[in-house]
């Protein structure tokens, strides 16, 4: 089955590169560094390192506290962080600079993965969440390389997809050294694919282990001072096409009843920044762009940079989490919760089934299904600031009570880490 998978990928290769080229129309970086995606790297690349793969921005931000603690506890451990996207690459450089080696993970062609492993000769492969690339994992197993999947989760929908390729999925599971999952339900789903008891552990989600640096706290305080003239601030974070329009509609409804409000809208992907700006202009909404530093008295701030959501959540009275008013499965609400900000979500949050039900059960999160119901919830918070604070505190308690996954994860990694140069 793995041979058939490899052949199928080669057949698809023209379409894969066509997709990269087309994405380059919006983000030019997709047309660069293609040799890395084929497993070709510079001659002086660092070898014998721990490879940590984070697909894109979300995984990198979630894994950063874990990686920083690894670097503190194991200062002699060489680390290479890989990703798939230009925005992910930018975040790795922004957060870690030259303290780690960074390259793209190659596309999962058999030859590309072989070149990658030959060139880097890693000590172990660590994969965040469920980026399960068959050739990478199976070839690593053949070389006796430890493969550890951390912060793993598997939805019922994804399980059914893997079950369509039962033989390949069983081979994948057999090739893993250890899988550290969010909860027992996730482990049970992986077991249905062939994972064995001795290959799994339940550690919780590292996304709960959010650490607010002093730099972040200072940025929040500085922005609060700049926005002191607004009576109600709400953030719409990680929004998508089809959702921007609904956010703008809710904003216009809210402005009919509430004065002196500020919406901070942060599209999920950089290629959406200009499109969101166009939608705001077409709706005749006065807005500023964060990158231009031109906010005066506008009622909308377009957050058109990456990696600054903690700062925006820190000044908000409530936060809508995107990818939920359309069928995208939602995004991570824990950054807002960690800052004691009450959360609003649409009905689609299946990607975070381990988080949202907890928040909703404690009345730290409200569910809406349309611009009008979103506006109604915003109005409640605008008119009842004490309610927003109370629900925000409940959100924070949930984050606090679920902390500890990073320490457990490091204990799982410990046998594969270098304690001396």
Which of 36, 59, 131, 243 is an active site residue?
Answer: 59
- Cα–Cα dist 147/145, whole Å: 6
Cβ neighbours of residue 204 closer than 8 Å, sequence gap 6 or more? 182, 183, 402, 404, 405, 408
Backbone angles phi, psi at 403, to 5 degrees: -70, 160
- 282 in active site: no
Strands 178-181 and 318-321 come out as unpaired
- Cα–Cα dist 128/148, whole Å: 9
- The torsion defined by the Cα of 55, 209, 359 and 353, in degrees rounded to 10, comes to 30
Taking alpha carbons only, the member of 10, 11, 16, 13 closest to residue 30 is 16
Q: Which residues are catalytic?
A: 59
């Amino acid at each position: 089955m793995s041979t058939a998978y490899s052949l199928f990928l080669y057949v698809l290769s023209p379409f894969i590169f066509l997709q990269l080229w087309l994405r380059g129309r919006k983000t030019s970086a997709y047309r660069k560094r293609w040799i890395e995606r084929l497993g070709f790297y510079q001659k002086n690349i660092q070898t014998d390192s721990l490879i940590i793969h984070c697909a894109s921005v979300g995984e990198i931000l979630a894994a950063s506290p874990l990686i920083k603690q690894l670097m503190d506890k194991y200062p002699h451990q060489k680390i290479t962080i890989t990703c798939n996207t230009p925005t992910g690459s930018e975040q790795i450089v922004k957060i870690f600079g030259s303290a780690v080696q960074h390259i793209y993970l190659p596309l999962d062609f058999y030859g590309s993965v072989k070149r990658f492993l030959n060139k880097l000769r890693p000590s172990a492969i660590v994969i965040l969440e469920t980026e399960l690339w068959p050739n990478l994992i199976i070839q690593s197993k053949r070389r006796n390389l430890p493969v550890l999947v951390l912060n793993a989760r598997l939805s019922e929908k994804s399980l059914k997809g893997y079950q369509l390729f039962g033989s390949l999925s069983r081979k994948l599971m057999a090739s893993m050294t250890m899988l550290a999952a969010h909860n027992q339900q996730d482990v049970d789903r992986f077991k249905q694919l062939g994972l064995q008891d001795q290959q799994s552990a339940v550690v919780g989600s590292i996304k709960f282990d959010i650490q607010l640096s002093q730099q972040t706290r200072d940025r929040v305080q500085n922005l609060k001072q700049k926005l002191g003239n607004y009576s109600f601030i709400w953030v719409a974070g990680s929004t998508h096409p089809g959702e921007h329009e609904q956010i703008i509609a809710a904003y216009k409804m809210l402005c009919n009843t509430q004065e002196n409000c500020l919406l901070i809208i942060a599209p999920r992907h950089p290629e959406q920044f200009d499109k969101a700006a166009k939608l705001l202009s077409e709706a005749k909404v006065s807005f500023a762009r964060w990158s231009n530093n031109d906010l005066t008295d506008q009622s909308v701030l377009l957050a058109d940079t990456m990696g600054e959501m903690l700062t925006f959540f820190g000044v908000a009275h409530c936060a809508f989490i995107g990818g939920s008013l359309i069928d995208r499965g939602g995004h991570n609400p824990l950054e807002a919760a960690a800052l004691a900000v009450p959360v609003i979500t649409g009905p689609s949050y299946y990607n975070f089934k381990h988080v949202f039900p907890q928040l909703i059960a404690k009345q730290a999160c409200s569910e809406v299904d349309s611009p009008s119901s979103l506006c109604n919830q915003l109005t409640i918070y605008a008119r009842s600031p004490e309610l927003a604070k109370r629900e925000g505190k409940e959100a924070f308690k949930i984050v606090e009570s679920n902390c500890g996954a990073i320490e457990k994860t490091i204990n799982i990694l410990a046998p594969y880490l270098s304690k001396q140069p």
